[in-house]
Amino acid sequence: LSMLFLTLLLLFLALFPGAFSCCTKISDEIPKGILRRVERFEIQKADGLCHLEAVILYIEGRKFCVSPQIKKVKKWMKKNKHKIPRRKPRGGKQRRDKIIKKKENKQ
């Protein structure tokens, strides 16, 4: 029986890897000055596995979940869009080609 449970748990983790990284509680207040220390942030949508809309702030390797309705957070997110993690662009060769073409044009 325990082997069946373990198998089902591993199957669940494989099919839904984000299930345990969702914010389940959010803060409606944010301490003064904390936004200055944020290294990056993500926006959690209330769809799929995560049932709560939230802004996830990463500070010194820790994650804090706050309400996206906080005025300070909304304003801060507009100013700090560069802190949203981006996926690495594919096709590094294309980028290299663009750089080479720019250099050729300058000469």
Residue 12 lies in a domain: no
Per-residue pLDDT of the chain (107 residues; tens, 9 = 90+): 777 766 776 665 565 555 457 898 999 999 888 999 999 999 999 887 788 999 999 999 899 999 999 999 999 999 988 887 765 555 555 555 555 555 555 55
Nearest to 85 by CA among 42, 56, 21: 42
Per-residue pLDDT, 38: 94
Please tell me the total count of domains within the chain. 1
Nearest to 43 by CA among 24, 62, 65, 28: 65
CATH of the domain at 31: 2.40.50.40
Residue 50 lies in a domain: yes
Per-residue pLDDT, 54: 95
Residue 68 lies in a domain: yes
Residue 101 lies in a domain: no
Domain around 76: 23-90
Residue 96 lies in a domain: no
Q: Which residues pair with 55 in a beta bridge?
A: 43, 66
Residue 95 lies in a domain: no
Q: What is the pTM of this model?
A: 0.60
Nearest to 73 by CA among 27, 14, 105: 27
